[in-house]
Amino acid sequence: MATKLVVTLEGLVLSNLKEIVSSRSIDEVILVGSPSSFNSLSDFSSITKAKTDIASAKSGSTLKVAFANNSSATLNASFYDYLAENNISFFVDSDLSSLSSSCFL
């Protein structure tokens, strides 16, 4: 079973994200936010840095995106294009069964 870390957009500023992923052997970091929060982003540098830190902390670790309280939403073109260009996919687990051994920050 993969170990996951769930963070919010605000949680991306954690200066020790890389160390957490490495020391806890995190396999997947799930970035959770509302569609409006994602759509209001104009600077994706914190997400890019987090993705790079996660990948360098543990080989094979990935970053995925999930909506906080929505099963579907409309994303603006700039955020959608950013996800596509950076191979960031969506976390889909409607009953949250895969989060049984996760760290929540």
Number of domains in the chain: 1
pLDDT value at residue 60: 87
pLDDT (0 to 100) of residue 101: 57
Label residues 65-76 b or e (16+ Cβ within 10 Å = b). Answer: bebeeeeeeeee
Q: How far is CA 42 from CA 6, 17, 36, 45, 47, in A?
A: 22, 22, 12, 9, 11
Q: Which two tokens stand for residue 81?
A: 């294009």
pLDDT averaged per 10 residues, the chain (length 105): 84 84 90 91 92 90 86 88 95 71 56
Domain of residue 94 covers 4-104
